[in-house]
Chain A
Amino acid sequence: MSTIRLKGGRVYDPANGVDGDVRDIGMRDGRIVALHPQEEVDHEYDVSGCVVMAGGIDLHTHIGGGKVNLARMMLPEDHRANRQRDPLLELASNGCCTPGTLETGYRYAQMGYTAAFEPAMLAANARHAHMEMGDTPILDHGAYVMLGNEELFLEMLARGEDFERIRDYVGWSIDASKAMGVKVVNPGGISAFKFNQRKLDVDENHVHWQVTPRDVVHTLARALTELGVPHPLHIHASNLGVAGNIESTLATIDALDGLPGHLTHIQFHSYGKEGPKKFSSATRQLIEKVKAAPNVSIDVGQIIFGQTVTASGDTMRQFANADLGSPRKYVGGDIECDAGCGVVPFRYREQSYVNALQWAIGLEIFLLMDDPWRVVLTTDHPNGGPFTSYPHLIRLLMDKSFRDEQLARLHPDVAASVDLREIGRELSLYDIAIMTRAAPARLLGLADRGQLGVGAAADIAVYREDADRQAMFATPEYVFKDGRLVARQGRLEAVPVGGTHFLETEFDPGIEKTIEKYAQRHLSVSYRNAKIGKDELCSCANGGALLACKVHGRRGGK
């Protein structure tokens, strides 16, 4: 492969402490290399006047799997508009809220993103998720397997199974589904809904298994710590969207008991019940708690006004919100004693008191949190809004006057009262580079991504300086994936197949006997078919690179 030099760009590489220094970046064989200034290269790009960052990494975006595909099927209206495409490089693919996988890959790459992680892969649907991700071009990808609502796990917890066995089961599940981490969604609540329970607080018992979300969260977080899984337990906490749910969120952080945990789309979990509408911002309580809990990281799940669709494993909460659907449609499913799925189209409106407050809460969280390494920029695509709104979100965070203009359009009671009015902070390019590259890479344990040090993968986005940060981040000058130019000024240049990140865990294979016995008695698929082998992963993921990460457990230690 050829040698490339990016000359004279302002480099933002927080993983290596580089904050806007003007320097050259060299690439060879898909990696970043140190080049002597006089060294001949095959291609030299003059990037003076440009900002250079590692390729963006989205650690929470619903890009592949059953519920996303159901959302596509149910919303043909979201996929009717055709845009001009490059007939040599692009295949037809449409959609805004839930684009086809091809369009998803094209659009992310055109924005300077080079990796995206599906946060809610059901074990029962894992092959499908890997297939969709494999058909999402250019981006590397991976997924977190959803645990904590499978009847086997709950049964083991309920009967007081030895922790080591549960840990082995978690290790096996990651290996079998070829996951990059573990997510828990409404801990125990998806299962509880199957038993017709409509609410489950952190210290409330599951009506059938008599275990609490606190038990579920703690057990999973401990298992991941002992297995040595880099990404902290990815937690979609209890009571999503419910007024007053800050209590559950704080209790969930307590349930971690100091163990690593990543609370996802935290905006949807930061509500008080003060004020005339009994719905208020609990940002300050949240931030105070997170600041004091260094074991906790978050992503925001910012809402963006306009049409979108919410797709979640949290059937309990999705069904409760089914009547709010716009357009009024609902998809819900109970799945394989494993988990569930609920899809509700939704339109966030500036003149809705609740939506306006949600918008403000999300921005407040970004701006009040003091440690950008523990805050990741997400809209929980598509639940808060499509990923294509990231440049708009970045401008909101970097530009106080733009933010104030938007604030003025909101429901008057919100515009007149929220804390956001008083927050003058504007995030820097360095902050943005942390929240969109360096922090997600670190939280996922991707040592050679999200940074521009020598030896790192040459995933690079080059943005032309523009005071309008939305325009700047929407259309990078150049995007490189593994050292190959994939986009230039919003046009695709190459469409490689992305790789799959997954973990190889250590566990006692004796656990397979328990799983086999359970599958025979309760499930509908042979236990042997519950496992995805590496060759099979390769064919599911469309022949992309297998980016395995071996992890070594720290058994016995907490």
Chain B
Amino acid sequence: MNASTQACDPDGHVDVTPNWTCPFCSLLCDGFRVETEQSGLRLVGSDCSKAVQGLADFGPATASAMPSVDGRPVTADMALDAAVGRLAACRMPLFGGLATDVAGMRQLYRLANATGAILDHARGDALMHALRALQDRGQVFSTLAEIRNRADLVVCIGTDAVGNFPEFFRRCAPVDDAGFARRTVFVGVDAPAGLAGEVAQIAPEGDLFDAVAMLAALVDGRRVPGADTALADLAQALRAARYCVVVWEPGRLPAQGALIAEALLRIVMSLNRSTRAGAFILGGADGLQTANAVTTWLSGLPLRTRVGPLGLDHDPLQYATARLLAGNDVDLLLWVASFGTKLPPPSTALPRIVLGHPRLASACAGEGTVFFPVATPGINSAGHLFRADGVVTLPLRILRDDGLPTVADIAKALEARLALRRLATEGQP
């Protein structure tokens, strides 16, 4: 157990973990505390709805959580054997969800090699908006501390930011005597209440595709007949800003959102020719940023890659979870959801192996499913996660030990048993 952490005593006395890193969104706030009570975990120092909801998934200690096969509670040994039997029999498994930490992904990659799996994350569609733009044109980014110290203009495109990232504006708010004033503009959405500094919102006609295309043209200084005056004013403000940051949220974009990402990149690149600008992508939650980073550094290719017997194959469209399941293109689903109950495995007639939060047990009780309750990094195991910006990696500390295995533990055990089984049946691992 981590030195900074203490469990509550038998009287239900409260203990406080001061150095906690919150795993429930990709901002990874490390400035709040958590009180460990016998009835559960309580956030101190913030009213962040994501953290409060995340912690609510942890009531009294869940030490009694057991693996199950087809809904029947079994020992870990039996569950591992059942899962390995299915893995050994499948030809084209999909490893989905992938809501885990660095250690979990490292082991899952090994297991993917042993089984020829396709890797995709529960939020793969959102990732692809950003990734496909990166692959086609690039990316210009800024990080929280840069925004905090420099950004006199923040423009949120199609997102109020706080809906899914409640602490965003607090995390990047300038200090009182920063020497500049912050203006925040919301495009195509209502501004949230209670923001410091000057706040404006504009509602351009048409959809977001039209709005960003027009804004890009205006920032480039092109003549746009009948241009929306609010967008023209915004383009003017962008050019006049000392350091502006364009904030967008891939998870809120419609299909073909990469086109919006490309237009935003064009705007930021154009601005950087005369002033300074960057973008901040509000994404990467549920371990998405982490799963993609680890897969990329190990293999050389990002998510939606198949680790097949003939090598790697990356396809941002073909290897989407929904498409693979709908088309019966895979024959097994291994689903990983260690951060909470919000990402239950998709229902499918395929055999499923689920490494999930203990409270996902009921969603994994059906025929054909092997369920392993696993620890949540930052709650009942230590770990590491990548922040939304993809730069900062933070350590997650254990709040209480519920005796649960980690995703890495299960993946490692599966790999080892699979190798033994193959040795026994085929004469080689």
- Write the residues of chain A forming the contact surface with B, with a CB cutoff of 8 angstroms: 64, 66, 68-70, 72-76, 78-80, 82-83, 85, 88, 91-95, 98-103, 122, 124-125, 127-128, 131-132, 135, 151, 193-196, 319, 322, 328-338, 343, 521-526, 528-529, 536, 539-540, 542
Contact = CB atoms under 8 A, between A and B. Distances in A.
B134 A73 contact: yes
Contact of A131 (B135, B148, B301, B384): B384
Interface residues on B, range: 35 or more
Q: Give me the 4 closest cross-chain CB pairs, A-B, nearest first.
A: A82-B311, A100-B300, A524-B144, A95-B300
A91 B395 contact: no
A336 B300 contact: no
B302 interface: yes
A91 B110 contact: yes
A78 B392 CA distance: 26
A72 B300 contact: yes
A383 to B, nearest CB: 17
Contacts of A103: 300
A91 B109 contact: yes
Given A125-B391, A127-B393, A536-B395, A331 B139 contact: yes
Interface stretch (B58-66, B251-259, B268-276, B337-345): B268-276
Given A194-B146, A330-B138, A524-B144, A125 B393 contact: yes
Contact of A66 (B31, B137, B311, B390): B390
Contact of B143 (A79, A92, A331, A335): A335
A131 B293 CA distance: 11
B391 A91 contact: no
A522 B242 CA distance: 18
B5 interface: no
Given A102-B298, A334-B146, A319 B272 contact: yes
A135 B30 CA distance: 26
A93 B113 CA distance: 10
A333 B391 contact: yes
A184 B380 CA distance: 40
Given A70-B139, A72-B300, A337-B146, 7 more contacts: A69-B390, A72-B301, A100-B301, A328-B137, A336-B391, A338-B145, A524-B145
Interface in B309-354: 310-312, 314
Contact of A333 (B106, B140, B311, B395): B140
B198 to A, nearest CB: 22
A6 to B, nearest CB: 31
Contacts, number: 196
B429 interface: yes
B144 A336 contact: yes
Nearest to A325: B138
Contacts of B209: none
7 contacts: A66-B390, A75-B135, A92-B307, A329-B138, A334-B150, A335-B143, A524-B143
Contact of A94 (B138, B242, B293, B300): B300
B134 A100 contact: no
A100 B302 contact: no
B153 interface: no
Contacts of B149: 151, 337, 522
B301 A79 contact: yes
Interface in B26-42: 30-31
Contacts of B102: 131
Contacts of A193: 276
Contacts of A333: 139-143, 278, 389, 391
B83 to A, nearest CB: 21
A531 to B, nearest CB: 10
B386 interface: yes
Interface in B363-398: 384, 386, 389-395
A322 B296 CA distance: 23
B6 interface: no
A69 B297 contact: yes
Interface string B142-179: 11111011100000000000000000000110010000
